[in-house]
Structure 1
Amino acid sequence: MVALENGELGPLLSPGTLRGLEDECVTDVKAQTRAALLRVLQEDGEHWGSTEDWSSNLAQDVCELLEEHTERAPRISQEFGERMAHCCLGGLAEFLQSFQQRVERFHENPGVRELPPDTYISRTISLVNCGPPLRALAERLARVGPPESEPAREAAASALDRVIRLCHRILTDLLFQELQPHFSKLMRRKWLSSSEALDGIVGTLGAKALALRRMQDEPYQALVAELHRRALVEYVRPLFRGRLRCGSARTRSRVAGRLREDAAQLERLFRRLESQASWLDAVVPRLAEVLRLEDTPSIQMEVGVLVRDYPDIRQKHVATLLDIRGLRHTAARQEILAVTRDLELCEVAALSPPRDRAFFADIPVPRPPICLSLPLFLGRLTLSRLACLPWPRPPAPSPLRRPPARR
């Protein structure tokens, strides 16, 4: 009676009973949400390969399903709220792994190639757009849940990263398949006097970017940065294939001028596309300067800046540039290459940049030939010719013979 008069009623259920009821609730929620999430994925996935107009609600449905439980549980107790958040985060991580596998199967299915290109791109963008809200949900659940929720959060983030990387690669490959005919026209004689090739590249990229704008901001920024990097790599690649030879100062000046003009046009394009990969803007002008400059100290300085700003450039790239400008077998060439050698030996320069900052690592250069003076004997006549041979391949290892058994 005293407790009633003072308003000090204790809990109606014992801690053990309350814990048992909470355990049952968490178990039921885990089973119900698992089935509901798989049903959402199944229903959404049935539309991915269709040609009809359709807008995905997958991320919204998943968030609503899980937030219904995580918002009510803390009203009972903070501890129960943490347990429910941990339960839902585990279910979300499991769901996202299934989502990742379903996305992979969708893109691996040969039938999706029969979809109209715009539809296929639209479906891929819809899948990417599921990432940000589901990632934010996983972060919220991890903050509310106990410390042991971290592995589930990492698993959820990993699955989303795989989905976004795959979709970005699909979109990038589709776009550059269309751009390849324009890139194949670069660094040829016609390119020096005509902007046709670059106009085609800029026009196609600008038009396709309109569709990509439907992507949410975070994945869009990552995609446009990769498009920026890939476009510059594909632009520079034919230069290092040695399509052009600049034996005279006049030709070098023309090529360098054209490179700078194209670089400015590409920079304007990606600025309009809101690319944040501004570190790429200087690469083509730097290469142009290496071709344009005439005195060795200035070229050495420019090569040093190039190596500093793009640490994955190697001596073979600089050697190819010197070949293009006709600087072969001279003391000046060795002095310039020495700059690259010295910087490559530095510990800082030896560190490889992260994948999204790699540039020259994706640009192969032709292997130089070995030039041998081969005497050819014909009767009493000896003819010395310069024979340029490709690099020899290492001999195949001879099969090991088993030693004879001792008697």
Structure 2
Amino acid sequence: MELDPRTVTSEPASPTSSAGEEKMEITSELSSPTSHSRDSGFFGSIRRLSTWKSKQSPNKESGKEDTGTWKGKGLLRSFRSYEKNKTTICDGVEKIGENKEAEPIQGKPLSVMEINELIQKRQLLEAFASIKLLEDETISERNAEKYKDNPQELLRKSKDVNFLYNSIANAIQSIVEETLEASTVEETMLTSIVTLIAHEEAAHPNTDKAVHPGSDLLGRPRKWREMWREAINESAKKRVLKAPMASKEEDSSWLDLHLNFLQKLLREDLLKIKLSVKKCYPEEYQVCDTYVEAFHKAIASHLQHLCQRLLDFNELYTLLNWVANTYHSELFLGHPDLKPEVKTENLSLLLTPADWDKLKNNYIASAKEKIKSYFGNILRLEVTEKWEKEVHSEVEENLYHALLSFDIQTIIGEHMKLSGAISRSLETKMLELCMTELLEFIPRFEKEFEKAWSTAQDSPIFAPYVVAYINSFHDLMSGLETEFEVDTEELQKILAALTRNFTNIFLTKLKTKTQELLREVHRYVVKEYITQVIKHRWRMNRETRQEVSKKMDLEARIFHNTLIDQGSDSDWLVPAIHHIAKIIKEKKKDKIKVYVKKLCQNYPDIRKDHILAILARRGLGRTRRAAILRQVCHVLESSSGGEGNTLFAEIDVPVVICCF
């Protein structure tokens, strides 16, 4: 690319020279940074920048050197010095020798605006050459104390130089950051940056120059190589943040998807660096290592921000697993296509030990609720799908069996496997957590079982369930000892208590069932005894009534005591036969009426025909029976009519036939 020819008036060669002005035409072009010609490099750029046409002063003798600002010998000496100290590297990128300082070239630099235009067009080598001229000119004028009486002018020119150097630095930064954004790599631009950095380092080798007030940056190193590294760091940060990340509301697997996008994007970037970017730089730049380190720092910072979020159990595991198992694997930095240029051996930890431990602790804390919910689901399914539906227990090898042990061991095993893939310490913590939750779950299971079955009606599946759960918990303890090498001392105590409690529930249930049977037997005996008493038709005299009454009391006492001793608690049946026996033997009608009232009060389900039958068995006539019945009728009407225990309601009354 060529600049339009310009005419620049040079300064007088000396105060005594003629006033004639020299005209020179400047034709500049941006040379290829890969050129190996004599015109490459910093001073080559200056040589290409200007082609001078100068006129000899009429006052000068033939053969004398032009004493103008651009001195031929100085220019040639500069080129010779540059040629001696340069080495060709990396596809034509030139390195300026570090041991010899290039001689300054004198000349008229472009204006600040013109230099800035070159920078905007990214003709950076030409721009740098002219900035260096401006800097050298300012330094020379400062050393000559030209601005002794006008320090503001020196400050202005120094700021111009600093502004232009910073503009080039910004351009370098933009080019570096755009390298990974663009679809193709501009190799020419990257190699020109290397040349530019080399020229700057050669032009400013001395860091110990005295600092002058108002111009302390003149002639000092610009540290563009460090700035280049910072640009790579910024580029890496932007690339990391470019990975798509959905919200949790949009996709529950947002973190897993984001990390997959991230590793795919950066893996492609690293492959691009290996194949297209690396060859644009000399070996000393260690481009691949620099980019890998930059990506590593950017990812570490990004993960720090992710860790600050409120992550659930699955998200915490996704992050832990990605750091521990994916980051260095063939899925990302260890991908075969990236080898051998991408090395990870010397990378620092992606997360600090403190952050890593915090992430693991958060995972364990979240797992606590997860494990508790899993065990809770086991209990809920037992209640709703088995107990409430009265599903029969499984039978395995002629033994009642429950899947409880298998389900619990599966939960523990799966979580230990996942945690062990991250770290051994996390696996140990997970096992400890599972055991803690198991020791809490078993008493909770026991309580729910007791609640469900202690008050339930008799069921044929109750006893099989008791046996099945005792067998299952025994299998669980054995499995934990053999498969997970767990100390089951505390578990054994809890299971021993559970076994005792289940056994007691079973025996209580059995006792309750036996007691119910005894109650029914007791009621049946009394009912049948009374039925036999009131259905007989023979007449009895006074002595016979006394004997019958006495016998009834004795027999009633015998079978009452026998059944109560066996476990019957039906004490309410005891008075019935004794009341009837007293009615049969009693002579006085008023006392008979009292016994009848007591009978009605103790057994509300008794009916009028029962009373008439008992009075008939006493031998009373119809008139007297009717009279007594009328007198106790209000007692019958005030009774509950059969609520609660029943006895007489199931006794059939015989037809009473009286002969007068």
- TM-score, normalised relative to structure 1: 0.45
Structure with more relative contact order (C-alpha pairs < 8 Å, separation 6 or more): 1
- Which one has a larger percent helix, Structure 1 or Structure 2? 1
Structure number with bigger Rg: 2
Taking structure 2 as the reference length, what is the TM-score of the superposition? 0.30
